[in-house]
Chains A and B, each alone.
Chain A
């Protein structure tokens, strides 16, 4: 294994505690953190207004900025961090990245205050399912606290 902890994140203030938990875990294990932003413009499907510009590139750039902020937080904590922006559906992208990068552990955050696009239940089920399928450890965190751990 490559001793990398994957932290999928959308950035923003609400994500900081979960990012910090991933950074702390990496420090504890002497691992590197890979922050992942997934650009998904599915929300545009229901709009009647025309999409005339390349919004995915704009979203990718926004994702890069969010990850640069997370990377700074990790580097301040003396943890090596890298970033990755991918396009697509969360589940599929996550599985692809796990296979490509030979990830050890995934720190998956539940959004604070129920503001996320998916429910906590969905996150837990996803973590359990992908952990069984790929053999990767999943740590589900909420506001920086570890809620569940799924080990194969």
Chain B
């Protein structure tokens, strides 16, 4: 080796020494030394914390940055997670005082100075946890945009200026355009990112509604409810008071198990025919059915769209709804039935002149079950779905999965035209739900919901009975004129806050109050519910229009009567 080394020319010898020295220094090893300020993959220390808002709700996507006064580059940076927690990882122990800055577009920024004892603790333990940081809400320009969009969408839907889905899509478009284009020009206009917007969509609701649509289309399409209506007509033998009670019962049950809108869509034409056949005002049969359909749906999770949203959000099961709502709903229906009999007493006293054999035959034909085989198969599958809803809870089987499985089984067993059935899934409604979730997400993100929750919390204090009262009657009253689906969706975060803050509300009674208020309020006016409007549309086609005033005269007293019973039931039951 010495011989070889001596044979190398002197300048080459120096070159080799320099080369080996460089290699020695560059190859990392356990004994190698680090240069100050050099980046390493090994995390030496970390600071952890949590960001919450003034209501204790975790703040997601808050920017957390560690900076020093002397350096422009941050020492470390991260974002808060779903539960508000964040972890700042430092490649080396910071030896000087530094600040942690927490920023979010819709909150005032917070700065935490770390010095002395905190730094010593960090050096000792390698990990240091700081106390929860409470961020105060900030009213940004984005706040006003989201608020105006939400109110605008509600008004467009209420006054039927645009189709609900178009209105909701327009709202979402404005929100995203404001966030991306407006936010680039003026950061204060930022509302949320695209990913954040999508995160507000409750996919369980979307898939449950989709599955139920197929089930409803097949089950209600068998004609069972029209047949039942005709049997009610036949068995009541001209006693119209008895007929209306049976029709109300059929409608309430159908609404609870399937959907009140489709039920009224099918029950109204046959009820009009029965009314004309009996020689009475058909509205005396139809309006009570609409009222019963809006209330009947409350007793199950799938009975109303608002219940589906509430159930998915609050984790309330099918059985919970059934157990906690049914008695209240039955009591409300009984009170409603008494009121209806009194209200239409003159109409029900009229003696039926009887119906000609031709008209009777026509009525019977129109109420005939076309495919009895389909009916019993549908009944079997639907019963299985209901059992699945109840038993599935034990293994945490989402209702959406049960509904989709039931829908698939029906498609396989009944072999309907799949193209037709897929068309039966009303995609505009599903898009409406998605857009609505994002709009409500936007007002939640900018802090409108928090402000409303704080306001309600100040009003209610810690009084649970007052809380139930305010939600049942407040939501009920607003629902008489405002579409109850967006209202219920917007109310959910508020109810969650109140549930957490009011002693005794942890049994979720306020969610049931929301369910009752939103559905019962739909009876207040003709524009209070989709079922009311579609019923009026059909009766109009038979030259028997339901006027706003006519509906109001019976609908408003029934609304407050049922709200009062619902409120008393909730107070008594919980």
Contacts and interface: CB of A to CB of B under 8 A. Distances in A.
Contact of B429 (A39, A49, A69, A115): A49
Interface string A34-77: 00000110011111111111110011011111101100100000
Interface in A112-138: 115-117
Interface size band for A: 35 or more
A54 B265 CA distance: 10
Contacts of B483: 48
B541 A40 contact: yes
Pick from A45, A52, A55 the residue with the most CB of B within 10 Å: A52
B266 interface: yes
A110 to B, nearest CB: 12
A49 B534 contact: yes
Given A53-B217, A65-B359, A65-B366, A45 B163 contact: yes
Contacts of A46: 160, 163-164, 533
Contacts of A55: 265-266
Interface in A82-121: 111, 115-117
Interface string A3-27: 0000001111111000000000000
Contacts of A50: 213, 261-262, 425-426, 428-429
Contacts of A45: 163
Given A47-B534, A59-B538, A59-B541, A52 B426 contact: yes
Given A11-B276, A48-B164, A53-B220, A66 B542 contact: yes
Interface of B is mostly: helix
Nearest to A14: B543
B541 A48 contact: no
B173 to A, nearest CB: 18
B216 A52 contact: yes
Contacts of B217: 52-53
A12 B530 contact: no
A119 to B, nearest CB: 14
B534 A68 contact: no
Interface string B524-543: 00000011011001101111
B169 to A, nearest CB: 12
A12 B359 contact: no
Contacts of B160: 46
A115 B543 contact: yes
Nearest to B161: A46
Contacts of A53: 216-217, 220-221, 262, 265-266, 424
B356 interface: yes
A88 B269 CA distance: 18
B363 interface: yes
Interface of A: 9-15, 39-40, 43-55, 58-59, 61-66, 68-69, 72, 111, 115-117
Given A11-B542, A52-B220, A62-B272, 8 more contacts: A43-B541, A47-B261, A52-B259, A53-B265, A53-B424, A55-B266, A58-B266, A68-B358
11 contacts: A10-B542, A12-B543, A45-B163, A46-B160, A46-B164, A47-B533, A52-B221, A59-B541, A62-B273, A62-B366, A64-B366
